[in-house]
Structure 1
Amino acid sequence: MTTAATITATLSRHACETPDRPAVICDNHAVSWKDLNQAVNRLAGHLAKVVPAGRGVALHLPNGPALVLLFLAACRAGREAQILDPSWPTETARLAITALVPGIVVSGDATLAGDTEVLAVVDPHGSFESVADAIGAGPSTAAMAEPDPLTPFYIGFTSGSTGMPKGYRRHHQSWIESFRAGDREFDIGAGDIVLAPGALTHSLFLYGLAHGLYVGATVILCRQFRPNLVNRLIAVHQVSVIYGVPTQLEMMIEAATRDGLPPFPKVRWMLSSGAKWQGRALAELRLQFPAARFSEFYGASELSFVTVAKDDEDVPSDSVGRSFAAVSLTIRDQLGRCLPPGETGLVFVASPFLFMEYACGSETVLPRYGDAVSVGDIGMLDARGFLRLAGRASRMIITAGKNVHPEEIERVLEGHPAVAAAGVLGAVDERRGERLVALLRLGPKGRIASSDLISHARLSLPLYKIPRRFAVPSHWPLTSSGKTDFHALRRLWEAGDCEVLR
């Protein structure tokens, strides 16, 4: 049961109770609970000395021991960890650093910081034992007092940003409250082996790390997501809980099938976020993970968990689930009036998991009514309280005077057995305003004619929502969090880097 009030509050207890058990495994590096707690204490003491109160620790690092330890150490020291994406262009990272004004920048790139920042250069792929020496931490491993729960601990960035990234700030209590709600939903504990195979720049995997350590589980990370490696880790370490996004889980299943791997019977939870999981893929997943329960989340960086859809809860196939524990949902019109079940409007969320504020990259003021906030998603609640999303307001396309949410079309196209993923764009059209273009990632069954796709779509969609142009891009771009990168898809289409289907 979750009771302690900060992200790192339970590390010392786990170090006393199970000192020699592995706490974190990252590829071929592992650290015990005792050594993890000592390293975090040592680094936290150093950060508290060199970073003034109220300033942050900018971490420009890929997955590895340095990122894990310095994130935890910043949390314990009462400094916010500002998790920069190392795949950003250098200029983008510098823009973020300039906006955030951290007390120290830690990176593997010695040229990253400007004239005003303190830069500590570490080997991002070094061992857990090497990090404290690399950053110049003193020898003391004395424990520090935990910070106030309302102290900011984390700045993350929304994926798929162009130009200046949009950074959002969270305090400890927002995640502690989600840990408590997660206890009610999933009961993950010290006996579990948790696999979080994605980049820690994606909040889902950072959350998987933080929550797993909080409850005393062993957490397994990967430097880079490679499906063959991930499957091997599941088998070797007898993984029981897996966090992932649908694209990753699909690649894992494809690799397991290709390699003829036997089922993984020890996995009891598959936790997915980022996109709606398709029914046929779920059937394949159950063959590979026969004892696992499957759950998917809908949420947003600013909101954290909003809904949960578990495979044993009779969730309608077009729904993203019911309210997550401790979350309250309302649907409102543009004037803020609550709408009854069955009517579509803006989705408003009230919960103890909400973010504090935008830290950089956005002057947006999100609409609020009382304790509820909306990030602009459009949806409806049915009579049983299940949420159906129409789409994101920011992606809405206007064609022939009608509002179209591309997500609805994408879900229909992805229901065709030849289509692995779809991205629907609005292309400029003098007569219709915008015309619908569908870019596709084809599955193993290969090629398909546009007429077949139109016939498939007509079973579910009115004519004005059916694209008339279909194309396959040269590659399928993903954000660092494993989601489809729609900005990059548009660039591929506009550059002519797509094969048009006939």
Structure 2
Amino acid sequence: MHIAVLPDERARRDPAGACLADDTAALTNSEFARKTLAAAAALRDRGIRAGDVVATLLPNRVELVVALFAAWRLGAAVTPVNPALTEPEARFQIEDSGARVVLGPAGADLVTMPVDELDGDATDAGLEGTLTEDALALLIYTSGTTGRPKGVLLDHANLAAMTGMIIAGIGLGPDDHSLLILPLFHVNGIVVSVLSPLLAGGRATIAGRFRAETFLTTVERVRPTYFSAVPAIYARLCTLPADQTADLGSLRLVICGAAPMPAELISRFEQRFGVPLVEGYGLSEGTCASTLNPPAGPRKPGTVGLPLPGQRVALMTSGGALLGDGPGEVVIQGPNVMRGYLNQPEATAATIVDGWLRTGDVGRFDADGYLVLVDRIKDMIIRGGENLYPKEIENALYAHPAVLEAAVVGMPDPVLGEVPVATVAAHPGTRVTAEELLDHCRGRLAKIKLPTRIDIVAVLPKNAVGKIDKPFLRRQLISS
């Protein structure tokens, strides 16, 4: 079954069954199918045809998912735009993608089709003859931390492979109900929290803006079986007052991705909430995930798990030779690997080499074949000719009970080239000094790895996906 006809198939099987909800709407399968048909007709009337690109400039809401399936029904692709981008940033993505229509709130800058236009008459707008697995489905833009954002080309075969791996990896079925809290302009939110549960026969609820203070009551009210989040969200939840509780009994697991999660934070979350936390690893260029700590166990905090079935994950030297146990650059093969970057053949050739997706991450395998991420290649600090990995220093800092979040970046040094500098946020209500943290690290790190400076801040900067914004920290050091 092509993913574009999923709304029809769900409506045929169980018309009155719950499908998709947000803070203002709850759609049954038949209602979701009707809205998808209506939206496809509206897009067709706007001239959208197979091979075109539709941009969505929307916050997380039901209409964004409807727009995805409507565009796919016509053989078109979708590029989701972060609504928090500045006008020049959003314009770059819209123009670079070649989007013919921009869906968004009426009257908003750059919007060419008000989202309300999607909800018209449900006529048969199906063009099933154009539905092929090699048709472009998503155009996801990278965060642009190393320059201009690049458009990652994902086709329907990529989505079919990835959703199948997610469904098998976490054992999704008709009884599963995801709670979406990650942004829908990111592939994790689309694949893990929407497409996979819907394809498995389950359902999805789109939460409003994440607020730690109200999230537990949201879980108690919605009764999801799982949600996917980033380390910063789990850290925030762990800082809630001890008397702030809720019934979380519906959750059978939660998932962490997008950035490595310290083992101490995983333990803290599981002890506090009694819910298994499953960490995985992947990137947009691999359509989301490549490894996962198996929910049935054994789960190994400090690793990102085992390769998902259907993918090959290996380690490679800078010269392209495969390694045994590493450390080396993590490389990936499988049907989930992107087609390439839009209109960037040189970047594509540098990233997909001899059939391997080069991730830019350094890793090693433990004795049981679990992948341990050492760090990003670009984040490595070269101090007086010695390679230092910030993640190792961060892990030492996280072992201090007062540390909520930590980030280490390299600061230019006229003698040594670079030196490590740490920025730390403490748990609310706790006090810790830079000297205390340095003393703590001395027992865990060689002298050359010790931060030359530790800055204590109230909160660490985050990018749009919720990752700690290391490029911002580097810029601050250079300008200070």
For normalisation by structure 2, the TM-score amounts to 0.92
Query: Residue 210 of structure 2 corresponds to which residue in structure 1?
Result: 225
Query: Residue 294 of structure 1 corresponds to which residue in structure 2?
Result: 277
Distance in 2 (alpha carbons) for counterparts of 1:9 and 1:411 = 46
**Is residue 138 of structure 2 the alignment partner of residue 154 of structure 1?**
yes
Distance in 2 (alpha carbons) for counterparts of 1:361 and 1:458 = 46
Offset at residue 170 of structure 1 (A): 0.2
**Is residue 426 of structure 2 the alignment partner of residue 442 of structure 1?**
yes
Change (3 A) 1:190 1:315: closer
Of 323, 332, 335, the residue aligned with 1:352 is 335
Of 97, 100, 104, the residue aligned with 1:103 is 100
Q: Is residue 197–residue 230 contact of structure 1 (8 Å, CA) maintained in 2? A: no
Offset at residue 93 of structure 1 (A): 0.9
Distance in 2 (alpha carbons) for counterparts of 1:199 and 1:29 = 18
Q: How does 1:285-324 map to 2 (within 5 A)?
A: 285-290=269-274, 292-303=275-286, 304-310=288-294, 313-324=297-308
Looking at both structures, which has the greater relative contact order when contacts are Cα pairs under 8 Å and sequence separation is at least 6? 1
RMSD: 2.4
**Identical aligned pairs, as a percentage?**
24
Query: Residue 424 of structure 1 corresponds to which residue in structure 2?
Result: 408
Change (3 A) 1:180 1:226: same
Q: How many residues align?
A: 475
SS of equivalent to 1:376 = strand
Query: Residue 127 of structure 1 corresponds to which residue in structure 2?
Result: none
Offset at residue 163 of structure 1 (A): 6.0
Distance in 1 (alpha carbons) for counterparts of 2:378 and 2:343 = 19
Query: Residue 415 of structure 1 corresponds to which residue in structure 2?
Result: 399
Distance in 1 (alpha carbons) for counterparts of 2:3 and 2:437 = 48
Of 107, 113, 126, the residue aligned with 1:120 is 113
Structure 2 unaligned regions, length at least 5: none
Query: Residue 77 of structure 1 corresponds to which residue in structure 2?
Result: 74
Amino acid aligned to 1:353: N
Distance in 2 (alpha carbons) for counterparts of 1:361 and 1:93 = 19
SS of equivalent to 2:255 = strand
Q: Is residue 418–residue 445 contact of structure 1 (8 Å, CA) maintained in 2? A: no
Offset at residue 243 of structure 1 (A): 1.3
Of 118, 137, 140, the residue aligned with 2:123 is 140
Distance in 2 (alpha carbons) for counterparts of 1:471 and 1:494 = 15
Q: Is residue 170–residue 294 contact of structure 2 (8 Å, CA) maintained in 1? A: no
Greater CA drift, 63-72 or 42-51: 42-51
Q: Is residue 197–residue 204 contact of structure 2 (8 Å, CA) maintained in 1? A: yes
Greater CA drift, 227-236 or 79-88: 227-236
Offset at residue 29 of structure 1 (A): 2.0
Offset at residue 139 of structure 1 (A): 4.5
Change (3 A) 1:77 1:227: farther
Q: Is residue 181–residue 210 contact of structure 2 (8 Å, CA) maintained in 1? A: yes
Offset at residue 155 of structure 1 (A): 1.0
**Is residue 58 of structure 2 the alignment partner of residue 58 of structure 1?**
no
Of 317, 326, 336, the residue aligned with 1:333 is 317
Q: Is residue 332–residue 346 contact of structure 1 (8 Å, CA) maintained in 2? A: yes
Change (3 A) 1:465 1:131: farther
**Is residue 456 of structure 2 the alignment partner of residue 459 of structure 1?**
no
Amino acid aligned to 1:486: K
Distance in 2 (alpha carbons) for counterparts of 1:311 and 1:460 = 31
Offset at residue 332 of structure 1 (A): 1.7
SS of equivalent to 2:244 = coil
Query: Residue 178 of structure 1 corresponds to which residue in structure 2?
Result: 162
Query: Residue 468 of structure 1 corresponds to which residue in structure 2?
Result: 452
Amino acid aligned to 1:15: A
SS of equivalent to 1:228 = helix
Query: Residue 9 of structure 2 corresponds to which residue in structure 1?
Result: 13
Query: Residue 213 of structure 1 corresponds to which residue in structure 2?
Result: 198
SS of equivalent to 2:282 = strand
Query: Residue 30 of structure 2 corresponds to which residue in structure 1?
Result: 34
Amino acid aligned to 2:409: L
Offset at residue 414 of structure 1 (A): 1.6
Change (3 A) 1:454 1:383: same
Amino acid aligned to 1:443: H
Structure 1 unaligned regions, length at least 5: 123-129, 497-502
Amino acid aligned to 2:359: V
For 1:185-232, what per-residue CA distance to the aligned partner results, in whole angstroms no more than 9, with x for missing partners? 222122112111121112211111111222221211123112234322
